Structure 1
């Protein structure tokens, strides 16, 4: 998953030229004047949209993230400064492998058509500081005209290539040539944020825009790179865009880290497993082995099974939009495009499931050992005894083997946070299409005062991640009685589609210094 350390080494070297290899400053640099729009397509009128086409909210759409920062001539994002290979996976051919090549863009767009992709979001690292041709991130600007030319050529051939929207890589709110760390609650911060979106669309003729109900699609990466933000930055962007682009208002999907109201929410990290807070994300796996300085993180592709499994999970509870993460991020091994390692396997798989998605197909639940079972359970201890239900460790919840009241169990200590979780997964053969009403029994040792609740993958659309963390109506008071007890929770409308962290179906919510847990039973109600 991308983070502040995401900048691949070739880019880091380019930035280092501008800022001495360090993006830290003893004092904030002065605010420079924000330049006018980079491209010619501004101050638009209705006539400029005569050839434009739009998707509607009723359409089922498949999009993808397009990393176009590679250049075989300059070795940008291909070779590390020490001469080592910067890529985990590799394109099928290095010929014309460059953001400056119309031929390369045209080939990728054609392959996206074969994969059933409806719209493409170039990953844009542009910013007011990067307009200059000697800026380290100027490739973001230089690569767009060839992409437009490629799409235009396909249209002239009578084809229907993916339409172009924007993925705003908000890393540039912190990592940019001018050394700015943007506060999006200030006037300067809002103008910078908007100028990045403006610059992108000023370079794309409206006939090529990906629009939803007549509104150009913009997805935002993480809010973590902004010094501060609030709703005003979105409101400002909408108003300014309307003035510059013929009355159009952008359709903005914000990553879940943004604390504001957008048109939809999206979660980065789908390559690690399906995420669906409104706009779904899924991918083939993950491996950033070639990226220097990162701790190992590999999610195996399992010969395509991982990708197919996540598509199946998505199809059981689909949203209208799904993003394939990613088309061609070779550094992190999340590519589904044609590659040296996998050929066209993932293009074909994407086409298969994109077609099923648009047809409205819903996968049947697999028969198995627990299809007719009335309950599943797990007994926690030094070696858990799983019977259709199993514990899943996550960063915010990994209970350790323990003993309390003369019984083996597991102990969760919440530390300074004062809260934590215990996650569980469920055998698919116990699940049924549609919503289920279930009952969860939790045997616990009441060692400290606090509260115990349950969040499950349910039907409450107002709950986080589209219902993935629906709260059980019951909350149990913990008193510190030093006795074993059993708490009972109802799970109305449970869907259990592995939508929680690490693919879990439900989790215990612990608001106490510690809790000992022994036996969990999930029953049909």
Structure 2
């Protein structure tokens, strides 16, 4: 239906006659729909006069949710009149995407938190009319310009492309990026957003406006060339290419990547993502997830992990998930529940981030030289934990008892291969330049190879080295317990192995393990304290 209507619109307004049901190709359309804003190339400031962040400059950003409207309780109450929010803003009287006064107060608080740029969560899409995403941006821009008139540099404004709209939209169009019309839809959403943001207010790195992509699951089909198309089209309209930051689920060449959803802990990829916790109990969902804030310690530990990395090699951008997503309890904005506690914490850590401080690693295993897990009826884990399904679908394991010895087994069938996954406590090791030794006890049952795959620094390998493979031992069917020991000189261990750090398997046979140990070699101290 969407394609037919779109063809009719083209016939009416562009005087094109289509004779087939084939969707339009951008090259066949002489005039695109006009953007909602007027800040395109011909009306932009010259690139050299635009304020921009440098690629080697440490900066801090956050996701900005502006869909609220207290006047009719939009996003504040559910349809049945119940409270839609887990956490609550201190004052919601003027809380509305249409209110520049509300945006202004948010920007002042964001500055107080030491945040350099915001990413408004954009739900607009081509020809979406007066959707709140479009209506809310002019008042936000007005608020930023108000700060400028006061002599205050406002947080810069970048685009958080909420890709939910690639499937959920009023046109009932499921975007296919392998099709010309899908590519056009994808690009016009970006164009429309930045057409409403003055060049001097844009969050740009090396003059490139930031396009930050949410997860890819809402797109019908991906196309790795979509980012090249986005760059080329953006360059035509704005005179500069964008800086593309993709969620790790996207295919294609982006400038940086990040991992969405940091309820289980910080995610440090091309971007360092941190957050205060998670609680979606107020959202009408079949199941709920809660990650307690631990009186702020969860947030402190996330920042500490990021700051403990070498400033020369750690990411330059830190992103806080989120400023004010009150539904899922990821907010750091002033709230009735926490006051200004998280504003003050963020200011503290953002200042450390920008000044390039490296802190001492903290946590239960920060000074340990070894971590381990022993599989009894209840596993005894000391810095090593077993990753299991459904978190890792191919990590289905079960307890076994062999000759009175408790152990853990992963079966391997032709159409159902399974691995023993392990996560290393971040306080023990996280992207540290320290050689490791892995040792595990296994039941020598069957014949074949035992393979260890680990998150490594070998970025030239497939998956950027997230599954570097090494043969650790051979099964010879002696039915006895044996020990395998390998050295790992290039561990990265940032959770890129399906959310874990390494996995062990015996392909086509299956594997039973009763104990795993991981130790640092040479007594290395991997967590030096750098200048405060």
* 2:376 is the alignment partner of 1:378: no
Task: Decide whether aligned partners of structure 1 residues 322 and 298 sit closer, same or farther in structure 2, where only a CA change above 3 A counts.
Answer: same
Per-residue CA deviations over 1:462-483 (Å, capped at 9, x if unaligned) read: 578976x363644545566644
From 215, 224, 229, the equivalent of 1:222 is 215
Q: Which residue of 2 aligns with 1:180?
A: 173
- Aligned counterparts of 2:77 and 2:431: Cα–Cα separation in 1: 48
1:260, distance to aligned residue in structure 2 (A): 1.0
- Aligned counterparts of 1:209 and 1:349: Cα–Cα separation in 2: 26
From 136, 146, 153, the equivalent of 1:143 is 136
Task: Decide whether aligned partners of structure 1 residues 161 and 303 sit closer, same or farther in structure 2, where only a CA change above 3 A counts.
Answer: same
The question of whether the paired residues in 2 share the 8 Å contact of 1:391 and 1:425 is answered with no
1:51, distance to aligned residue in structure 2 (A): 4.7
From 432, 452, 455, the equivalent of 1:454 is 452
- Aligned counterparts of 2:251 and 2:476: Cα–Cα separation in 1: 35
Counting only pairs closer than 5 Å after superposition, residues 64-83 of structure 1 correspond to structure 2 as 64-83=62-81
Q: Which residue of 2 aligns with 1:471?
A: 468
Task: Decide whether aligned partners of structure 1 residues 372 and 315 sit closer, same or farther in structure 2, where only a CA change above 3 A counts.
Answer: closer
Q: Which residue of 2 aligns with 1:425?
A: 424
Per-residue CA deviations over 1:137-161 (Å, capped at 9, x if unaligned) read: x000000000000000001111112
RMSD: 2.7
Q: Which residue of 2 aligns with 1:487?
A: 484
From 303, 309, 331, the equivalent of 1:311 is 303
1:491, distance to aligned residue in structure 2 (A): 1.3
* Secondary structure, counterpart of 1:44 in structure 2: helix
* Secondary structure, counterpart of 1:91 in structure 2: coil
* Secondary structure, counterpart of 1:417 in structure 2: coil
Q: Which residue of 1 aligns with 2:316?
A: 320
- Aligned counterparts of 2:433 and 2:372: Cα–Cα separation in 1: 20
* Secondary structure, counterpart of 1:237 in structure 2: helix
1:355, distance to aligned residue in structure 2 (A): 1.0
Task: Decide whether aligned partners of structure 1 residues 499 and 86 sit closer, same or farther in structure 2, where only a CA change above 3 A counts.
Answer: same
1:35, distance to aligned residue in structure 2 (A): 2.7
* Secondary structure, counterpart of 1:153 in structure 2: helix
Task: Decide whether aligned partners of structure 1 residues 432 and 196 sit closer, same or farther in structure 2, where only a CA change above 3 A counts.
Answer: closer
- Aligned counterparts of 2:258 and 2:383: Cα–Cα separation in 1: 31
The question of whether the paired residues in 2 share the 8 Å contact of 1:418 and 1:511 is answered with yes
Q: Which residue of 1 aligns with 2:198?
A: 205
1:514, distance to aligned residue in structure 2 (A): 3.0
- Aligned counterparts of 2:48 and 2:99: Cα–Cα separation in 1: 28
Runs (5+) with no aligned partner, structure 2: 10-31, 522-532
**TM-score normalised over the length of structure 1:** 0.86
* 2:355 is the alignment partner of 1:359: yes
- Aligned counterparts of 1:123 and 1:372: Cα–Cα separation in 2: 41
Per-residue CA deviations over 1:338-369 (Å, capped at 9, x if unaligned) read: 11111111111111111111222222245978
The question of whether the paired residues in 2 share the 8 Å contact of 1:274 and 1:499 is answered with no
Q: Which residue of 2 aligns with 1:30?
A: 4
The question of whether the paired residues in 1 share the 8 Å contact of 2:436 and 2:488 is answered with yes
* Secondary structure, counterpart of 1:82 in structure 2: coil
1:114, distance to aligned residue in structure 2 (A): 0.9
The question of whether the paired residues in 2 share the 8 Å contact of 1:256 and 1:266 is answered with yes
* Secondary structure, counterpart of 1:225 in structure 2: coil
From 160, 166, 182, the equivalent of 1:167 is 160
Q: Which residue of 2 aligns with 1:346?
A: 342
Q: Which residue of 1 aligns with 2:283?
A: 291
- Aligned counterparts of 2:36 and 2:363: Cα–Cα separation in 1: 57
* Secondary structure, counterpart of 1:270 in structure 2: coil
Runs (5+) with no aligned partner, structure 1: 1-26
- Aligned counterparts of 1:251 and 1:369: Cα–Cα separation in 2: 37
The question of whether the paired residues in 1 share the 8 Å contact of 2:450 and 2:474 is answered with yes
> 53-62 or 471-480, which moves further after superposition?
471-480
1:422, distance to aligned residue in structure 2 (A): 2.1
* Secondary structure, counterpart of 1:128 in structure 2: coil
- Aligned counterparts of 1:404 and 1:413: Cα–Cα separation in 2: 15
- Aligned counterparts of 2:412 and 2:337: Cα–Cα separation in 1: 43
